[in-house]
């Protein structure tokens, strides 16, 4: 048998709080009973190896280019950005051929989703708002899109603006390494007050959720703002001492 990977328990300082004051949905959906720690067996340590066959990243023309999902139409409105980086494990090793699902609102703050039907912000007919990419053998991923806008959280009594962010759903190589996360942009004034970003207690943990802007002279073309965002999934080949 291939040696199973080691998974350290979740670190509550670098992972978000489950219940967040002011984020009312967390009050009624988080279990009150303590979670049970279970032994990790094959079911937990394995995961779907054929997820790319199932989800087919690249099958839709907009999968890696969310800025221009319909080739016959103009590109979406908004500031053209490129997001790229590496998907790594806890040893810093690349996570290869992993599906990354991407979704975000348009440049006016509107999602393509029935839950956002009451948004006052307009739909951009040339924007689909979702895509899928695959990491390469070096763990690299990249996609082009338009910069999402900040938007007010619907019906929040104290006014909560979500900073601009991109949702990412990542499969990795086991069900243990599955990650759903959000990427934020440097310098967004709402980063400091966002209930979701600030639910991570450790400032370094929060900083790792904020992409880094690539210096403009390091970008190959003049009209795209580049962002680098490395992502670390759970899992290590190494067993810590004492385990």
Partner 1 sequence: MDSNQIMRTAAASNAAAVDTAAGGANLASATAFVPTASGTVGPFFPPRFLGEGDNNLSIVTPGAAAAAGERIHLCGHVYEAGRVPRFNTIVELWQADANGRFAHPLDPQHADADPHFMGWGRTWTDQTGYFEFTTVKPGSYLDPVSRQQRAPHINISFTGSGLMRRLVTTLYFHGEPGNENDPVLAVIADPGLRSRLLLTPLPDQAAAPGVSSFGIDIVLQGESETPFFVD
Cα within 13 Å of Cα(68), Cβ side: 11
Q: SS3 for 65?
A: strand
Q: SS3 for 196?
A: coil
218 forms part of the interface with partner 1 (CB under 8 A)? yes
> Given 111, 132, 141, 234, which residue is catalytic?
111
Residue 38 CB, nearest approach to partner 1 (Å): 4
List CB contacts of 187: < 8 A, sequence separation 6 or more.
213
163 forms part of the interface with partner 1 (CB under 8 A)? no
Considering only residues 33 through 72, tell me which ones interact with partner 1, judged by CB under 8 A.
Answer: 33, 35-51, 53-55, 64-65, 67-68, 71
* β pairing state of 99-103 and 165-170: antiparallel
Q: Is 151 a catalytic residue?
A: yes
Shorter beta-carbon distance to partner 1: residue 189 or 222: 222
**Dihedral (CA of 119, 122, 123, 127) sign:** negative
Q: Which residue has the tokens 């999968």?
A: 63
Q: Is 167 a catalytic residue?
A: yes
> Given 162, 206, 229, 234, which residue is catalytic?
162
230 forms part of the interface with partner 1 (CB under 8 A)? yes
Among 6, 97, 108, 112, binds partner 1 (CB under 8 A): 112
Among 86, 95, 163, 191, binds partner 1 (CB under 8 A): 86
Q: Classify 187 in phi/psi space as left (phi over 0), alpha (psi -120 to 50) or beta.
A: left
Among 63, 106, 109, 111, binds partner 1 (CB under 8 A): 111
- Extract the tokens encoding 3: 């040696």
212 forms part of the interface with partner 1 (CB under 8 A)? yes
Q: Is 6 a catalytic residue?
A: no
Q: Classify 242 in phi/psi space as left (phi over 0), alpha (psi -120 to 50) or beta.
A: left
Please name which of 157, 186, 79 lies closest in space to residue 124, comparing C-alpha atoms.
79
Q: Is 111 a catalytic residue?
A: yes
**Could you give the CA distance from residue 53 to residue 43 in angstroms, rounded to a whole number?**
21
Shorter beta-carbon distance to partner 1: residue 54 or 159: 54
Among 6, 152, 179, 188, binds partner 1 (CB under 8 A): 179
Residue 195 CB, nearest approach to partner 1 (Å): 10
Q: Is 229 a catalytic residue?
A: no
Binding residues for partner 1, total number by CB under 8 A: 114
**Active site members:** 111, 151, 162, 165, 167
């Amino acid at each position: 048998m291939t040696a199973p990977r080691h998974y350290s328990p979740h670190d509550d300082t670098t992972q978000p709080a489950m219940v967040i004051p002011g984020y009312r949905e967390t009050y009624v959906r988080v279990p009150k009973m303590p979670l049970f720690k279970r032994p990790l067996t094959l079911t937990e340590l394995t995961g779907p190896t054929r997820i790319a066959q199932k989800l087919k990243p690249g099958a839709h023309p907009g999968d890696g280019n969310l800025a221009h999902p319909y080739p016959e139409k103009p590109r979406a409105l908004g500031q053209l950005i490129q997001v790229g980086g590496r998907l790594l494990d806890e040893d810093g090793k690349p996570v290869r051929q992993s599906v990354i699902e991407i979704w975000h609102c348009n440049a006016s703050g509107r999602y393509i989703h029935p839950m956002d039907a009451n948004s006052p912000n307009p739909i951009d007919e040339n924007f689909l708002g979702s895509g899928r990419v695959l990491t390469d053998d070096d763990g690299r991923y990249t996609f082009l899109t338009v910069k999402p806008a900040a938007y007010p959280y619907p019906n929040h009594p104290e006014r909560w603006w979500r900073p601009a962010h991109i949702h990412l759903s990542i499969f990795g190589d086991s069900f243990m390494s599955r990650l759903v996360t959000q990427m934020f942009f440097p310098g967004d004034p709402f980063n400091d007050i966002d209930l979701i970003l600030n639910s991570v207690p450790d400032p370094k943990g929060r900083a790792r959720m904020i992409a880094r802007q690539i210096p403009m002279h390091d970008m190959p073309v003049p009209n795209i703002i580049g962002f680098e965002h490395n992502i670390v999934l759970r899992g290590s080949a190494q067993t810590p001492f004492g385990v």
